[in-house]
Protein backbone atom coordinates (compact mmCIF):
# COMPACT_ATOMS: atom_id res chain seq x y z
CA UNK A 1 0.00 0.00 0.00
CA UNK A 2 1.30 3.36 -0.97
CA UNK A 3 0.66 6.13 1.60
CA UNK A 4 1.19 9.63 0.44
CA UNK A 5 1.80 12.23 3.19
CA UNK A 6 1.56 15.96 2.88
CA UNK A 7 4.49 18.10 4.09
CA UNK A 8 2.77 19.12 7.32
CA UNK A 9 1.82 15.49 8.08
CA UNK A 10 5.48 14.48 7.64
CA UNK A 11 6.46 17.26 10.07
CA UNK A 12 3.94 16.03 12.69
CA UNK A 13 5.06 12.38 12.38
CA UNK A 14 8.71 13.28 12.70
CA UNK A 15 7.98 15.56 15.70
CA UNK A 16 6.12 12.67 17.36
CA UNK A 17 9.03 10.34 16.57
CA UNK A 18 11.59 12.65 18.23
CA UNK A 19 9.29 13.29 21.16
CA UNK A 20 9.02 9.53 21.74
CA UNK A 21 12.82 9.22 21.63
CA UNK A 22 13.25 12.10 24.09
CA UNK A 23 10.66 10.56 26.43
CA UNK A 24 12.46 7.20 26.27
CA UNK A 25 15.77 8.83 27.17
CA UNK A 26 14.17 10.71 30.09
CA UNK A 27 12.53 7.53 31.40
CA UNK A 28 15.86 5.70 31.21
CA UNK A 29 17.64 8.51 33.05
CA UNK A 30 14.95 8.55 35.73
CA UNK A 31 15.45 4.88 36.51
CA UNK A 32 19.23 5.33 36.51
CA UNK A 33 19.29 8.13 39.17
CA UNK A 34 19.90 7.15 42.84
CA UNK A 35 16.88 5.24 44.13
CA UNK A 36 14.45 7.34 46.12
CA UNK A 37 13.09 5.85 49.37
CA UNK A 38 9.83 4.94 47.58
CA UNK A 39 11.78 2.56 45.38
CA UNK A 40 14.11 1.42 48.15
CA UNK A 41 11.20 0.20 50.23
CA UNK A 42 10.48 -2.39 47.57
CA UNK A 43 14.00 -3.76 47.82
CA UNK A 44 15.07 -6.73 49.86
CA UNK A 45 15.15 -6.42 53.66
CA UNK A 46 18.93 -6.50 53.67
CA UNK A 47 19.07 -3.71 51.10
CA UNK A 48 16.71 -1.71 53.22
CA UNK A 49 18.84 -2.16 56.35
CA UNK A 50 21.88 -1.02 54.38
CA UNK A 51 20.13 2.12 53.13
CA UNK A 52 18.84 2.88 56.64
CA UNK A 53 22.23 2.54 58.26
CA UNK A 54 23.74 4.86 55.63
CA UNK A 55 21.02 7.43 56.26
CA UNK A 56 21.53 7.09 60.00
CA UNK A 57 25.29 7.56 59.88
CA UNK A 58 24.66 10.79 58.00
CA UNK A 59 21.80 12.12 60.10
CA UNK A 60 21.86 10.41 63.51
CA UNK A 61 22.39 12.84 66.35
CA UNK A 62 25.29 12.33 68.74
CA UNK A 63 27.35 14.38 71.21
CA UNK A 64 29.69 15.66 68.49
CA UNK A 65 26.89 16.85 66.25
CA UNK A 66 25.26 18.58 69.21
CA UNK A 67 28.50 20.34 70.02
CA UNK A 68 28.93 21.65 66.47
CA UNK A 69 25.34 22.85 66.45
CA UNK A 70 25.96 24.79 69.67
CA UNK A 71 29.09 26.46 68.34
CA UNK A 72 27.59 27.15 64.89
CA UNK A 73 24.37 28.65 66.27
CA UNK A 74 25.53 30.72 69.22
CA UNK A 75 28.37 33.14 69.69
CA UNK A 76 30.65 31.65 72.42
CA UNK A 77 27.72 29.66 73.82
CA UNK A 78 27.27 29.88 77.56
CA UNK A 79 24.44 27.50 78.32
CA UNK A 80 22.97 27.33 81.78
CA UNK A 81 20.53 24.66 82.95
CA UNK A 82 18.33 25.40 85.95
CA UNK A 83 16.51 22.47 87.52
CA UNK A 84 15.35 21.49 90.96
CA UNK A 85 17.05 18.08 90.93
CA UNK A 86 20.84 18.19 90.78
CA UNK A 87 22.81 15.82 88.54
CA UNK A 88 25.16 14.73 91.38
CA UNK A 89 24.11 14.35 95.01
CA UNK A 90 26.61 13.88 97.84
CA UNK A 91 25.19 12.02 100.81
CA UNK A 92 26.71 11.28 104.18
CA UNK A 93 26.52 7.65 105.22
CA UNK A 94 28.29 7.21 108.58
CA UNK A 95 31.91 8.12 108.00
CA UNK A 96 31.54 7.83 104.23
CA UNK A 97 30.49 10.35 101.57
CA UNK A 98 28.49 8.66 98.83
CA UNK A 99 27.90 10.08 95.39
CA UNK A 100 24.41 9.45 94.04
CA UNK A 101 23.13 9.85 90.47
CA UNK A 102 19.39 10.60 90.74
CA UNK A 103 16.88 8.38 88.88
CA UNK A 104 15.97 11.19 86.52
CA UNK A 105 15.45 11.26 82.78
CA UNK A 106 15.82 15.03 82.94
CA UNK A 107 19.40 14.72 84.15
CA UNK A 108 20.46 12.24 81.44
CA UNK A 109 18.83 14.37 78.77
CA UNK A 110 20.40 17.68 79.73
CA UNK A 111 23.89 16.68 80.74
CA UNK A 112 25.20 16.28 77.14
CA UNK A 113 24.30 19.92 76.38
CA UNK A 114 26.08 21.35 79.41
CA UNK A 115 29.07 19.08 78.85
CA UNK A 116 29.31 20.09 75.19
CA UNK A 117 29.91 23.77 76.06
CA UNK A 118 31.45 23.39 79.55
CA UNK A 119 28.34 25.18 80.78
CA UNK A 120 26.76 25.83 84.13
CA UNK A 121 24.05 23.87 85.99
CA UNK A 122 22.18 25.51 88.87
CA UNK A 123 20.14 23.15 91.09
CA UNK A 124 18.95 22.56 94.62
CA UNK A 125 21.74 21.14 96.80
CA UNK A 126 19.69 18.40 98.42
CA UNK A 127 22.34 15.92 99.61
CA UNK A 128 23.38 15.64 103.25
CA UNK A 129 27.08 16.05 102.31
CA UNK A 130 26.56 18.58 99.49
CA UNK A 131 27.84 21.58 101.44
CA UNK A 132 31.11 20.00 102.48
CA UNK A 133 31.78 18.87 98.90
CA UNK A 134 31.24 22.36 97.38
CA UNK A 135 33.15 25.63 97.72
CA UNK A 136 31.84 28.61 99.71
CA UNK A 137 29.63 29.63 96.76
CA UNK A 138 28.10 26.16 96.51
CA UNK A 139 30.14 25.37 93.38
CA UNK A 140 32.05 22.30 92.25
CA UNK A 141 33.26 20.83 88.97
CA UNK A 142 31.45 17.69 87.82
CA UNK A 143 31.40 14.80 86.99
CA UNK A 144 33.70 14.43 90.02
CA UNK A 145 35.80 11.74 88.32
CA UNK A 146 36.25 13.73 85.07
CA UNK A 147 35.18 17.38 85.46
CA UNK A 148 33.44 18.84 82.40
CA UNK A 149 31.14 21.57 83.71
CA UNK A 150 30.27 23.66 86.76
CA UNK A 151 27.50 22.72 89.18
CA UNK A 152 26.21 25.51 91.40
CA UNK A 153 24.14 24.31 94.33
CA UNK A 154 21.43 26.54 95.77
CA UNK A 155 20.71 26.06 99.46
CA UNK A 156 17.04 25.98 100.37
CA UNK A 157 15.92 25.91 104.01
CA UNK A 158 13.88 22.88 105.15
CA UNK A 159 10.89 25.18 105.63
CA UNK A 160 11.13 26.64 102.12
CA UNK A 161 11.66 23.18 100.61
CA UNK A 162 8.54 22.01 102.32
CA UNK A 163 6.36 24.75 100.85
CA UNK A 164 8.01 25.04 97.42
CA UNK A 165 8.89 21.39 96.57
CA UNK A 166 6.66 19.15 98.71
CA UNK A 167 3.82 21.65 98.82
CA UNK A 168 3.17 23.82 95.78
CA UNK A 169 5.14 21.82 93.18
CA UNK A 170 4.28 18.27 94.24
CA UNK A 171 1.00 18.50 96.13
CA UNK A 172 -0.37 21.25 93.88
CA UNK A 173 1.04 21.34 90.34
CA UNK A 174 1.95 17.63 90.03
CA UNK A 175 -1.59 16.24 90.62
CA UNK A 176 -3.07 19.24 88.76
CA UNK A 177 -1.17 18.34 85.58
CA UNK A 178 -1.60 14.54 85.78
CA UNK A 179 -4.98 12.92 85.42
CA UNK A 180 -4.44 10.39 88.19
CA UNK A 181 -7.36 11.27 90.44
CA UNK A 182 -5.32 12.63 93.31
CA UNK A 183 -6.76 15.96 94.33
CA UNK A 184 -4.38 18.93 94.09
CA UNK A 185 -3.84 20.85 97.31
CA UNK A 186 -3.08 24.56 97.12
CA UNK A 187 -2.19 26.79 100.04
CA UNK A 188 -1.16 30.42 100.30
CA UNK A 189 1.82 29.45 102.47
CA UNK A 190 3.15 26.98 99.87
CA UNK A 191 2.63 29.51 97.09
CA UNK A 192 4.69 32.12 98.97
CA UNK A 193 7.55 29.64 99.33
CA UNK A 194 7.29 28.75 95.64
CA UNK A 195 7.62 32.45 94.75
CA UNK A 196 10.52 32.86 97.19
CA UNK A 197 12.50 29.88 95.87
CA UNK A 198 11.95 30.96 92.24
CA UNK A 199 13.38 34.37 93.22
CA UNK A 200 16.29 32.67 94.95
CA UNK A 201 17.19 30.79 91.73
CA UNK A 202 16.86 33.98 89.65
CA UNK A 203 19.36 35.63 91.99
CA UNK A 204 21.70 32.65 91.80
CA UNK A 205 21.72 33.09 88.01
CA UNK A 206 22.10 36.90 88.14
CA UNK A 207 25.07 36.58 90.52
CA UNK A 208 26.94 34.63 87.87
CA UNK A 209 27.19 37.71 85.61
CA UNK A 210 27.77 35.52 82.56
CA UNK A 211 29.35 37.33 79.59
CA UNK A 212 27.55 37.82 76.25
CA UNK A 213 24.01 36.61 75.76
CA UNK A 214 23.41 33.65 78.09
CA UNK A 215 21.12 30.82 76.98
CA UNK A 216 19.14 29.52 79.95
CA UNK A 217 17.32 26.19 79.88
CA UNK A 218 14.81 26.27 82.74
CA UNK A 219 13.42 22.84 83.62
CA UNK A 220 9.99 21.80 84.75
CA UNK A 221 7.05 22.76 86.89
CA UNK A 222 9.20 23.81 89.85
CA UNK A 223 10.11 27.04 88.04
CA UNK A 224 7.07 28.45 86.24
CA UNK A 225 7.88 31.95 87.52
CA UNK A 226 11.58 31.91 86.74
CA UNK A 227 11.47 32.97 83.04
CA UNK A 228 9.90 36.30 83.94
CA UNK A 229 12.34 36.90 86.80
CA UNK A 230 15.32 36.11 84.55
CA UNK A 231 14.10 38.52 81.88
CA UNK A 232 13.54 41.24 84.47
CA UNK A 233 17.12 40.86 85.69
CA UNK A 234 18.64 40.71 82.22
CA UNK A 235 16.28 41.24 79.26
CA UNK A 236 18.76 40.04 76.61
CA UNK A 237 18.97 36.52 78.15
CA UNK A 238 17.56 33.84 75.86
CA UNK A 239 15.19 31.97 78.13
CA UNK A 240 13.57 28.61 77.41
CA UNK A 241 11.38 26.45 79.62
CA UNK A 242 10.84 22.73 79.17
CA UNK A 243 7.78 21.32 80.93
CA UNK A 244 8.50 17.63 81.55
CA UNK A 245 5.00 16.68 82.68
CA UNK A 246 1.62 16.87 80.89
CA UNK A 247 -0.34 20.11 80.62
CA UNK A 248 -4.00 19.68 81.63
CA UNK A 249 -7.06 21.01 79.82
CA UNK A 250 -8.03 24.62 80.54
CA UNK A 251 -10.87 23.71 82.89
CA UNK A 252 -8.60 21.61 85.10
CA UNK A 253 -5.82 24.17 85.00
CA UNK A 254 -8.31 26.81 86.12
CA UNK A 255 -8.50 25.14 89.56
CA UNK A 256 -5.16 26.70 90.45
CA UNK A 257 -5.71 29.96 92.36
CA UNK A 258 -2.49 31.41 90.86
CA UNK A 259 -3.18 30.37 87.27
CA UNK A 260 -2.60 33.87 85.80
CA UNK A 261 0.70 34.28 87.68
CA UNK A 262 1.95 30.92 86.43
CA UNK A 263 1.03 31.61 82.79
CA UNK A 264 2.50 35.12 82.91
CA UNK A 265 5.74 33.80 84.43
CA UNK A 266 6.06 31.10 81.78
CA UNK A 267 5.20 33.30 78.81
CA UNK A 268 8.19 35.56 79.47
CA UNK A 269 10.26 32.68 77.97
CA UNK A 270 11.37 32.90 74.36
CA UNK A 271 10.56 29.21 73.90
CA UNK A 272 8.42 26.73 75.84
CA UNK A 273 8.65 23.01 75.10
CA UNK A 274 6.24 20.18 75.92
CA UNK A 275 6.57 16.50 74.97
CA UNK A 276 3.50 16.38 72.73
CA UNK A 277 1.39 18.62 70.48
CA UNK A 278 -1.59 17.66 72.62
CA UNK A 279 -0.03 19.34 75.68
CA UNK A 280 0.84 22.43 73.58
CA UNK A 281 -2.81 22.63 72.52
CA UNK A 282 -3.97 22.39 76.14
CA UNK A 283 -1.55 25.19 76.99
CA UNK A 284 -2.88 27.42 74.18
CA UNK A 285 -6.42 26.82 75.42
CA UNK A 286 -5.43 27.76 78.99
CA UNK A 287 -3.80 30.99 77.80
CA UNK A 288 -6.90 31.88 75.75
CA UNK A 289 -9.14 31.21 78.72
CA UNK A 290 -7.21 33.08 81.42
CA UNK A 291 -5.07 35.82 79.85
CA UNK A 292 -5.44 38.67 77.45
CA UNK A 293 -2.98 37.39 74.91
CA UNK A 294 -2.84 36.63 71.19
CA UNK A 295 -2.54 32.92 70.46
CA UNK A 296 -1.33 32.13 66.96
CA UNK A 297 -1.58 28.41 66.25
CA UNK A 298 -0.13 28.90 62.73
CA UNK A 299 3.20 30.08 64.09
CA UNK A 300 2.85 28.20 67.40
CA UNK A 301 3.28 31.36 69.39
CA UNK A 302 1.67 33.53 72.03
CA UNK A 303 2.09 37.29 72.22
CA UNK A 304 1.61 38.53 75.74
CA UNK A 305 2.44 42.02 77.01
CA UNK A 306 4.27 42.70 73.73
CA UNK A 307 6.54 39.65 74.09
CA UNK A 308 6.41 36.74 71.65
CA UNK A 309 6.87 33.23 73.04
CA UNK A 310 7.09 30.17 70.78
CA UNK A 311 5.48 26.95 72.07
CA UNK A 312 6.31 23.61 70.42
CA UNK A 313 6.51 19.88 71.11
CA UNK A 314 9.94 18.27 71.60
CA UNK A 315 9.56 14.59 72.51
CA UNK A 316 12.47 13.73 74.80
CA UNK A 317 14.65 10.67 74.15
CA UNK A 318 17.36 8.47 75.63
CA UNK A 319 21.04 7.91 74.91
CA UNK A 320 21.63 5.72 71.83
CA UNK A 321 23.46 3.41 71.55
CA UNK A 322 22.87 2.52 75.18
CA UNK A 323 25.94 3.37 77.30
CA UNK A 324 25.25 0.17 79.27
CA UNK A 325 25.18 -2.11 76.23
CA UNK A 326 26.77 -5.57 76.35
CA UNK A 327 27.53 -8.15 73.65
CA UNK A 328 24.41 -10.03 72.52
CA UNK A 329 26.22 -13.29 73.27
CA UNK A 330 26.38 -12.32 76.99
CA UNK A 331 22.57 -11.93 77.35
CA UNK A 332 21.81 -15.51 78.37
CA UNK A 333 24.43 -15.75 81.13
CA UNK A 334 23.38 -12.39 82.47
CA UNK A 335 19.72 -13.44 82.52
CA UNK A 336 20.57 -16.56 84.50
CA UNK A 337 22.60 -14.49 86.96
CA UNK A 338 19.73 -12.02 87.44
CA UNK A 339 17.19 -14.78 88.02
CA UNK A 340 19.51 -16.38 90.57
CA UNK A 341 20.06 -13.01 92.28
CA UNK A 342 16.30 -12.60 92.74
CA UNK A 343 15.89 -16.21 93.87
CA UNK A 344 13.92 -17.20 90.76
CA UNK A 345 14.25 -20.44 88.73
CA UNK A 346 15.81 -20.22 85.27
CA UNK A 347 12.91 -21.65 83.26
CA UNK A 348 10.34 -18.96 83.92
CA UNK A 349 8.90 -16.10 81.89
CA UNK A 350 9.99 -12.84 83.47
CA UNK A 351 8.32 -9.44 83.41
CA UNK A 352 9.80 -6.19 84.80
CA UNK A 353 8.57 -2.78 85.86
CA UNK A 354 10.88 0.13 86.76
CA UNK A 355 9.37 3.28 88.22
CA UNK A 356 9.56 5.91 90.90
CA UNK A 357 7.04 4.96 93.59
CA UNK A 358 4.55 7.53 92.30
CA UNK A 359 0.76 7.27 92.09
CA UNK A 360 0.84 8.37 88.44
CA UNK A 361 2.80 5.23 87.49
CA UNK A 362 -0.12 2.80 87.96
CA UNK A 363 1.89 0.25 89.99
CA UNK A 364 -1.02 -1.02 92.08
CA UNK A 365 -3.24 -1.31 88.97
CA UNK A 366 -0.39 -3.24 87.27
CA UNK A 367 -0.21 -5.73 90.16
CA UNK A 368 -3.95 -6.32 89.86
CA UNK A 369 -3.56 -7.12 86.16
CA UNK A 370 -0.84 -9.67 87.01
CA UNK A 371 -3.20 -11.27 89.51
CA UNK A 372 -5.92 -11.43 86.86
CA UNK A 373 -3.51 -12.89 84.31
CA UNK A 374 -2.67 -15.78 86.66
CA UNK A 375 -6.36 -16.24 87.43
CA UNK A 376 -7.18 -16.49 83.70
CA UNK A 377 -4.09 -18.56 82.87
CA UNK A 378 -3.32 -20.79 85.86
CA UNK A 379 -1.03 -22.84 83.58
CA UNK A 380 1.54 -20.05 84.10
CA UNK A 381 1.58 -20.30 87.89
CA UNK A 382 5.13 -21.35 88.87
CA UNK A 383 6.40 -20.50 85.40
CA UNK A 384 6.05 -16.74 85.67
CA UNK A 385 7.28 -13.90 87.86
CA UNK A 386 7.29 -10.11 87.77
CA UNK A 387 10.06 -7.95 89.28
CA UNK A 388 8.97 -4.44 90.20
CA UNK A 389 11.60 -1.81 91.08
CA UNK A 390 9.92 1.13 92.77
CA UNK A 391 12.36 3.81 93.90
CA UNK A 392 11.05 5.80 96.85
CA UNK A 393 10.52 9.49 96.16
CA UNK A 394 8.86 12.56 97.74
CA UNK A 395 8.53 10.50 100.90
CA UNK A 396 7.59 13.49 103.07
CA UNK A 397 4.29 13.89 101.21
CA UNK A 398 1.45 11.95 102.85
CA UNK A 399 0.05 10.60 99.55
CA UNK A 400 3.45 9.10 98.67
CA UNK A 401 3.84 7.45 102.07
CA UNK A 402 0.34 6.02 101.70
CA UNK A 403 1.18 4.76 98.22
CA UNK A 404 4.30 2.89 99.41
CA UNK A 405 2.18 1.04 101.96
CA UNK A 406 -0.45 0.34 99.33
CA UNK A 407 2.14 -1.04 96.87
CA UNK A 408 3.65 -3.29 99.56
CA UNK A 409 0.26 -4.50 100.79
CA UNK A 410 -1.01 -5.31 97.28
CA UNK A 411 2.12 -7.30 96.36
CA UNK A 412 1.91 -9.19 99.65
CA UNK A 413 -1.79 -9.95 99.23
CA UNK A 414 -1.30 -11.31 95.70
CA UNK A 415 1.73 -13.41 96.66
CA UNK A 416 -0.22 -14.83 99.61
CA UNK A 417 -3.10 -15.71 97.35
CA UNK A 418 -0.69 -17.84 95.30
CA UNK A 419 1.31 -18.92 98.37
CA UNK A 420 1.06 -22.57 97.27
CA UNK A 421 3.22 -21.73 94.22
CA UNK A 422 6.98 -22.13 94.38
CA UNK A 423 7.56 -19.01 92.29
CA UNK A 424 6.24 -15.70 93.70
CA UNK A 425 4.11 -13.83 91.13
CA UNK A 426 5.57 -10.49 92.28
CA UNK A 427 9.06 -9.62 93.52
CA UNK A 428 8.95 -6.08 94.86
CA UNK A 429 12.08 -3.98 95.47
CA UNK A 430 11.16 -0.64 97.02
CA UNK A 431 14.61 0.91 96.65
CA UNK A 432 16.64 2.88 94.15
CA UNK A 433 18.77 0.81 91.79
CA UNK A 434 21.74 1.93 89.68
CA UNK A 435 21.40 2.43 85.92
CA UNK A 436 23.61 -0.64 85.39
CA UNK A 437 21.35 -2.84 87.55
CA UNK A 438 18.24 -1.57 85.79
CA UNK A 439 19.68 -2.28 82.35
CA UNK A 440 20.51 -5.84 83.44
CA UNK A 441 16.87 -6.29 84.39
CA UNK A 442 15.67 -4.89 81.07
CA UNK A 443 17.87 -7.39 79.25
CA UNK A 444 16.75 -10.34 81.37
CA UNK A 445 13.04 -9.69 80.86
CA UNK A 446 10.60 -11.31 78.45
CA UNK A 447 8.43 -8.22 78.71
CA UNK A 448 8.39 -4.81 80.36
CA UNK A 449 5.22 -3.27 81.78
CA UNK A 450 5.16 0.53 81.44
CA UNK A 451 1.61 1.36 82.44
CA UNK A 452 1.38 4.87 83.90
CA UNK A 453 -2.09 6.33 84.40
CA UNK A 454 -0.72 9.54 82.86
CA UNK A 455 2.81 10.56 81.93
CA UNK A 456 4.49 13.36 79.95
CA UNK A 457 6.77 10.93 78.09
CA UNK A 458 8.09 8.01 80.21
CA UNK A 459 11.68 7.18 79.40
CA UNK A 460 11.56 3.65 80.85
CA UNK A 461 9.73 2.61 77.67
CA UNK A 462 12.53 4.00 75.49
CA UNK A 463 15.28 2.66 77.77
CA UNK A 464 13.84 -0.85 77.53
CA UNK A 465 13.94 -0.66 73.73
CA UNK A 466 17.49 0.74 73.77
CA UNK A 467 18.60 -2.14 76.02
CA UNK A 468 17.32 -4.86 73.66
CA UNK A 469 20.02 -5.05 71.03
CA UNK A 470 19.17 -8.78 70.88
CA UNK A 471 15.79 -7.81 69.30
CA UNK A 472 13.87 -9.77 71.93
CA UNK A 473 11.39 -8.82 74.62
CA UNK A 474 7.98 -7.15 74.41
CA UNK A 475 7.05 -3.67 75.54
CA UNK A 476 3.56 -3.28 77.04
CA UNK A 477 2.83 0.44 77.10
CA UNK A 478 0.04 2.65 78.42
CA UNK A 479 -1.91 4.75 75.91
CA UNK A 480 -1.59 7.57 78.42
CA UNK A 481 2.19 7.90 78.29
CA UNK A 482 3.61 10.45 75.82
CA UNK A 483 5.86 7.62 74.54
CA UNK A 484 2.79 5.87 73.09
CA UNK A 485 2.58 8.61 70.41
CA UNK A 486 5.88 7.31 69.00
CA UNK A 487 6.14 3.64 70.02
CA UNK A 488 3.05 2.28 68.33
CA UNK A 489 4.69 -1.13 67.87
CA UNK A 490 4.46 -1.77 71.59
CA UNK A 491 1.38 -3.59 72.88
CA UNK A 492 -0.70 -0.53 73.78
CA UNK A 493 -3.04 -0.88 76.75
CA UNK A 494 -5.42 1.05 78.95
CA UNK A 495 -3.83 0.77 82.43
CA UNK A 496 -7.24 1.15 84.08
CA UNK A 497 -8.39 -2.11 82.46
CA UNK A 498 -6.92 -5.09 84.32
CA UNK A 499 -8.45 -7.31 81.68
CA UNK A 500 -6.72 -5.54 78.78
CA UNK A 501 -3.38 -5.61 80.59
CA UNK A 502 -3.76 -9.30 81.54
CA UNK A 503 -4.47 -10.13 77.88
CA UNK A 504 -1.41 -8.16 76.78
CA UNK A 505 0.78 -10.06 79.28
CA UNK A 506 -0.46 -13.32 77.79
CA UNK A 507 0.11 -12.06 74.25
CA UNK A 508 3.64 -10.95 75.21
CA UNK A 509 4.75 -14.26 76.67
CA UNK A 510 3.25 -16.21 73.77
CA UNK A 511 4.69 -13.92 71.09
CA UNK A 512 6.95 -15.70 68.56
CA UNK A 513 10.56 -14.47 68.47
CA UNK A 514 10.16 -13.27 64.86
CA UNK A 515 7.32 -10.93 65.84
CA UNK A 516 9.24 -9.69 68.89
CA UNK A 517 12.20 -8.92 66.63
CA UNK A 518 10.09 -7.09 64.05
CA UNK A 519 8.41 -4.89 66.67
CA UNK A 520 11.72 -4.24 68.45
CA UNK A 521 13.46 -3.36 65.18
CA UNK A 522 10.85 -0.73 64.30
CA UNK A 523 10.80 0.74 67.81
CA UNK A 524 14.62 0.69 67.86
CA UNK A 525 14.68 2.84 64.73
CA UNK A 526 12.30 5.33 66.32
CA UNK A 527 14.22 5.49 69.60
CA UNK A 528 17.62 5.77 67.91
CA UNK A 529 16.53 8.51 65.51
CA UNK A 530 14.90 10.56 68.27
CA UNK A 531 17.65 10.08 70.84
CA UNK A 532 18.61 12.61 73.55
CA UNK A 533 20.97 14.44 71.21
CA UNK A 534 18.19 14.85 68.65
CA UNK A 535 15.95 16.25 71.38
CA UNK A 536 18.58 18.68 72.63
CA UNK A 537 19.58 19.54 69.06
CA UNK A 538 16.08 20.39 67.91
CA UNK A 539 15.40 22.39 71.07
CA UNK A 540 18.61 24.42 70.72
CA UNK A 541 18.05 24.94 66.97
CA UNK A 542 14.63 26.35 67.77
CA UNK A 543 16.08 28.70 70.40
CA UNK A 544 18.63 29.96 67.91
CA UNK A 545 15.91 30.40 65.26
CA UNK A 546 13.72 32.28 67.75
CA UNK A 547 16.64 34.53 68.61
CA UNK A 548 17.38 35.17 64.92
CA UNK A 549 13.74 36.12 64.28
CA UNK A 550 13.73 38.40 67.33
CA UNK A 551 16.96 40.09 66.22
CA UNK A 552 15.42 40.69 62.81
CA UNK A 553 12.24 42.11 64.33
CA UNK A 554 14.20 44.42 66.65
CA UNK A 555 16.39 45.79 63.86
CA UNK A 556 13.34 46.36 61.61
CA UNK A 557 11.61 48.15 64.47
CA UNK A 558 14.72 50.30 65.10
CA UNK A 559 15.02 51.18 61.43
CA UNK A 560 11.34 52.11 61.24
CA UNK A 561 11.73 54.34 64.30
CA UNK A 562 14.76 56.07 62.80
CA UNK A 563 12.91 56.54 59.53
CA UNK A 564 9.91 58.09 61.32
CA UNK A 565 12.23 60.40 63.26
CA UNK A 566 13.99 61.51 60.09
CA UNK A 567 10.79 62.18 58.16
CA UNK A 568 8.82 63.93 60.93
# of chain residues touching ligand F6P (CB under 6 A): 9
Choose between 106 and 536: whose C-beta lies nearer to ligand F6P.
Answer: 106
Q: Rounded to the nearest whole angstrom, what is the least distance from the CB of residue 106 to ligand F6P in the complex?
A: 4
Number of helices (H) and strands (E) in the chain: give both, helices first.
21, 18
Give residues 216-235 in contact with ligand F6P (rule: CB under 6 A).
220
Q: Which is nearer to ligand F6P, 90 or 335 (by Cβ)?
A: 90
Give the CA distances from residue 316 to residues 9, 108, 282, 452, 454, in Å, rounded to whole numbers and listed in that order. Answer: 68, 10, 19, 17, 16
DSSP string of 270-297, one letter each residue: SEEEESSHHHHHHHHHHHHHHS--EEET
Q: Looking at 69, 106, 224, 450, which residue binds ligand F6P (CB under 6 A)?
A: 106
Nearer to ligand F6P (CB atom), residue 105 or residue 163: 105
- Contact region with ligand F6P (CB under 6 A), list: 104-112, 204-212, 329-337, 534-542: 104-112
From residue 51 to residue 90, the character string flagging contacts with ligand F6P as x (rule: CB under 6 A) and all else as - is ----------------------------------x-----
Nearest to 433 by CA among 362, 356, 366: 356
Q: Are 479 and 494 in contact (CB under 8 A)?
A: yes
Give the sign of the dihedral formed by CA 182, CA 186, CA 192, CA 195.
positive
Taking the complex as a whole, the smallest distance from the CB of residue 316 to ligand F6P amounts, in Å, to 9
Q: Which stretch binds ligand F6P (CB under 6 A): 100-108, 320-328, 398-406, 510-518?
A: 100-108
Burial class from Cβ neighbours inside 10 Å (0-12, 13-18, 19+) for residue 386 reads buried
CB of 220 vs ligand F6P, minimal distance in Å: 5
Shorter beta-carbon distance to ligand F6P: residue 242 or 367: 242
Q: Are strands 474-478 and 491-493 parallel, antiparallel or unpaired?
A: parallel
Q: Which of 472, 399, 458 is nearest to 105 (CA)?
A: 458
CB of 23 to ligand F6P, least distance (A): 59
Residue closer to ligand F6P by CB (options 113, 474) is 113
Question: Distance (Å, rounded) from C-alpha 274 to C-alpha 132?
Answer: 36
Q: CA-CA distance, 339 to 350, in Å (whole number)?
A: 9
Separation of alpha carbons 233 and 212, rounded Å: 14
Min CB(31)–ligand F6P separation in Å: 51
Position 105 contacts ligand F6P (CB under 6 A): yes
162 by Cβ neighbours in 10 Å (0-12 / 13-18 / 19+) ranks as middle
What are the percentages of helix, strand and coil residues in the chain, rounded to 5?
50, 15, 30
Sheet holding 349-356, edge to edge: 426-429, 384-391, 349-356, 447-450, 474-478, 491-493
31-39, 72-80, 102-110, 204-212 -> range binding ligand F6P (CB under 6 A): 102-110
Beta carbon of residue 394, minimum distance to ligand F6P (angstroms, whole number): 6
Window 136-195: residues binding ligand F6P (CB under 6 A) = none
Toward ligand F6P, which CB reaches closer, 110 or 444? 110
| Residue from the set 104, 198, 369, 516 that interacts with ligand F6P by CB under 6 A | 104
Q: Which is nearer to ligand F6P, 357 or 508 (CB)?
A: 357
C-beta nearest to ligand F6P: residue = 104
Three-state DSSP at 152 gives: strand
**Of the listed pieces 99-107, 319-327, 364-372, 417-425, which binds ligand F6P according to CB under 6 A?**
99-107
Pick out residues in 406-465 that bind ligand F6P (CB under 6 A). none
* Maximum pairwise Cα distance, the chain: 113
The enclosing H or E element of 405 equals: helix 398-417
Segment contacting ligand F6P by CB under 6 A, of 36-44, 103-111, 129-137, 478-486: 103-111
DSSP 8-state secondary structure symbol assigned to residue 455 = B
Q: What is d(CA 78, CA 162) in angstroms, rounded to the nearest whole number?
A: 32
CB of 114 to ligand F6P, least distance (A): 16
Chain residues in the site for ligand F6P (CB under 6 A): 85, 104-106, 220, 244-245, 393-394
Amino acid sequence: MNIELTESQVAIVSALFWLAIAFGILAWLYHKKPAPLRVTLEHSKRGLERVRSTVQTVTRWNAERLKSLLFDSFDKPKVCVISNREPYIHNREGALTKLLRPASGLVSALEPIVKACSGLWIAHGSGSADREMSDKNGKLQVPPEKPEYLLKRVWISKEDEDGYYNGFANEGLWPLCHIAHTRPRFSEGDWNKYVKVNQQFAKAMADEKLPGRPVVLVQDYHFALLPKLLKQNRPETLVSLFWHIPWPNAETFGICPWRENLLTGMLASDLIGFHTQFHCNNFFASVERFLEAKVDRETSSVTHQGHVCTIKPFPIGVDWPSPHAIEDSAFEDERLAILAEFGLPSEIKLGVGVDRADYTKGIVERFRSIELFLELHPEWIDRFSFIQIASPCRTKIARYAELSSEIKATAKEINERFAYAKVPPIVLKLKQHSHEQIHKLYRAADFCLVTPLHDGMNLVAKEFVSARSDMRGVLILSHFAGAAMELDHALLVNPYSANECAKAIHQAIMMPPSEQAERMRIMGEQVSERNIYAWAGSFLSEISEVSRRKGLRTSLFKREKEHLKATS
